[in-house]
Structure 1
Amino acid sequence: MLNAFIAILLPMTAGAQFIVTLVLTKGEICPGQRGRIHRILPLLFVLWLLVAVQHIYTLLNVVLIGYFYSQVKTGKTRQEGPLKILYLANGIAGLAMLFAILTAPNWVAAVTLILSCLLLGAITAHWLLTIARTRLQAFHRLLPITGILAAMFMTLCIVPLAARMDPIQLQNVLHSILLSFSLLVTAVIIWSWHLLTAKSADKVQLGISCLVLLTAMTGFHQLYFY
């Protein structure tokens, strides 16, 4: 269980970092928003530390994110900081994802890692951006929609994996599959609730969705080794 949890943190952290980088470089953000986004970077630092338990080479990202954070202002600022360092960290994250995909035990696991990068990366980035009080309404709409689509494709991947199991194996994991599916649906509903109610996204709402989704994906990850 612990190994599956840490393994799923890689696509989650990589995806979130890609999106945060996109916001910092392409998003129309004011100096106040930029400074607040800089303040959330230590959370990525902590996540990479956890990922390094299984992927020691990702400690490079800990160093790079830490250095980038030390070079930027966390108050109102128009200064982008050393973006080349952030791009290098993204490159390492991309290579780490590629290695995980190529060494996956089967094709379902490989595809699910890609979808996890979209799904978990999007919810984590959305939560972080909400903590930073960004006013990027397009991202607040686009990220949940991305999550819904990724969850649908995730379902299409798990079904053939379960179908190829022998009856005894399937009986052993059926409860886990149903629980993970239930958590996946619940997490997506919580995540997109602000769209259904036409309200602003709330950091508590997104934090709960992130935890539920992480639990669901951890459950799915354990199925690859049956």
Structure 2
Amino acid sequence: MIVLSNFMLDFVMLNAFIAVLFPMTAGAQFILTLVLIKGEICPGQRGRIHRILPLLLVLWLLVASQHLWALLNVALIGYFYSQVKTGKTRQEGPLKVLYCANGVAGLTLLYAILSAPNWVAAVTLVLSCLLLGAIAAHWLLTIARTRLQAFHRLLPVIGILTAILLTLCIVPLAASMDPIQLQNVLHSILLSFSLLVTAVIIWSWHLLTTKNADKVQLGISCLVLLTAMSGFHQLYFY
């Protein structure tokens, strides 16, 4: 029984972890598309951004373990990647394919919002797309060695503001629980909030120290944020 209970707990945690990968991957894809279209990037930066697109494919494949529709995005992003250059290039590639991928992600996100179990889950899904999408995109842009200083400053600020809004959503949800439910999840709530604050501090550390963002720093922040949001995700089903 103990082994079965531990297995079920691990399954629930894994399920929650993969569930929050969806808004993160969608948000990161939206931001990367914005950078490719509107960002003032040189040919070298464009090629390096193209080079990190397989990382998006891996994320969509993980999402596909829960949502088979994500395989369509894998196909679309894979086709776009196959048509662009990963070296220095001014060619934008078939952007219509990228628009279609964003459309699929956007419509599925809308469906998930409308079918959420409660209003907090719906709002949190939107905030997760902003928060996790911003940190994932920031990490990927840092890996690509982009020099978009405006994004390196703006994305952590978006993260801070979104974390505040997220707190304002979770607190009412916790307050509406009966005492027994709250006692069962109080440790998880406190742990998730602690991880959320820690992740945001790590993420914005380069702003506090006036240094360049580091990919290791952002990678750690991304993992901590994913863990925090996985904890919050489990609260919706109590």
Q: When the two structures are superposed, what TM-score results if normalisation uses the length of structure 1?
A: 0.99
Match of residue 174, structure 1, among 186, 200, 207: 186
| Structure 1 Cα separation of the partners of residues 104 and 26 of structure 2 | 9
Q: Partner residue of 1:123?
A: 135
Q: Which amino acid aligns with 1:95?
A: L
Match of residue 20, structure 1, among 32, 37, 52: 32
| Structure 1 Cα separation of the partners of residues 112 and 22 of structure 2 | 9
Describe how 1:3-18 pairs up with structure 2 within 5 A.
3-18=15-30
Match of residue 206, structure 2, among 187, 194, 203: 194
| Structure 2 Cα separation of the partners of residues 3 and 203 of structure 1 | 27
| Structure 2 Cα separation of the partners of residues 144 and 121 of structure 1 | 11
Q: Does 1:153 align with 2:190?
A: no
Deviates more, 1:44-53 or 1:125-134: 44-53
Q: Does 1:38 align with 2:43?
A: no
Q: Partner residue of 2:148?
A: 136
Q: CA RMSD in A?
A: 0.4
Q: Which amino acid aligns with 1:45?
A: L
How many pairs are equivalent?
A: 226
Q: Partner residue of 2:101?
A: 89
Q: Kindly indicate whether the alpha-carbon contact (under 8 Å) linking 1:58 and 1:96 is maintained by their aligned counterparts in 2.
A: no
- In the TM superposition, residue 5 of structure 1 has moved relative to its aligned partner by 0.8
Q: Which amino acid aligns with 2:61?
A: L
- In the TM superposition, residue 37 of structure 1 has moved relative to its aligned partner by 0.2
- Which deviations, in whole Å up to 9, do the C-alpha atoms of 1:23-56 show, x marking residues without a partner? 0000000000000000000000010011111111
- Which deviations, in whole Å up to 9, do the C-alpha atoms of 1:111-150 show, x marking residues without a partner? 0000000000000000000000000000000000000000
Q: Partner residue of 1:63?
A: 75
| Structure 1 Cα separation of the partners of residues 150 and 101 of structure 2 | 25
Listed as ranges, the gaps of 5+ residues in structure 2 are 1-12
- State the identity %: 87
Q: Kindly indicate whether the alpha-carbon contact (under 8 Å) linking 1:4 and 1:222 is maintained by their aligned counterparts in 2.
A: yes
Q: When the two structures are superposed, what TM-score results if normalisation uses the length of structure 2?
A: 0.94
